[in-house]
């Protein structure tokens, strides 16, 4: 099993480019299509910790689901934001590549080279 995992959306060009870049560098990551299989609260919390960012920084704020789910409410706790992100995985930025000790957002795809 691969040490690397990618939260992947095959319909997203940046996600496809990031996966291709990983493979060109000899990495065959575990692919998690997070829209079909959202991360657990524990997993998403760990990824945020590895990225050293707040939940808001991993959200796609232009998605309709962002406002529809109330994620634009500044009074939500981090725990509540994470819960809503899992319920509405389309708002999670993609792609995210991570191991047990490091993570990167593949925007641009070359960002993931820092963790290889």
12 carries an active-site annotation: yes
- Contact between 84 and 61 under an 8 Å Cβ cutoff? The reply is no
Catalytic residue among 1, 5, 12, 21: 12
- Which tokens in the block code for residue 13? 């060009």
Residues classed as catalytic: 12
């Amino acid at each position: 099993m691969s040490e690397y995992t990618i939260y992947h959306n095959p319909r997203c060009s940046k996600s496809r480019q990031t996966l291709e870049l990983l493979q060109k560098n000899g990495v065959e990551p575990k692919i998690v299509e997070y829209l079909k299989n959202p991360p657990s609260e524990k997993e998403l919390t760990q990824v945020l910790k590895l990225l050293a960012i707040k939940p808001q920084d991993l959200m796609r704020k232009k998605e309709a689901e962002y406002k529809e789910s109330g994620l634009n409410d500044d009074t939500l706790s981090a725990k509540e934001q994470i819960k809503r992100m899992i319920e509405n995985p389309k708002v999670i930025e993609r792609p995210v590549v991570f191991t047990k000790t490091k993570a990167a957002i593949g925007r641009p795809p070359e960002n993931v080279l820092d963790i290889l």
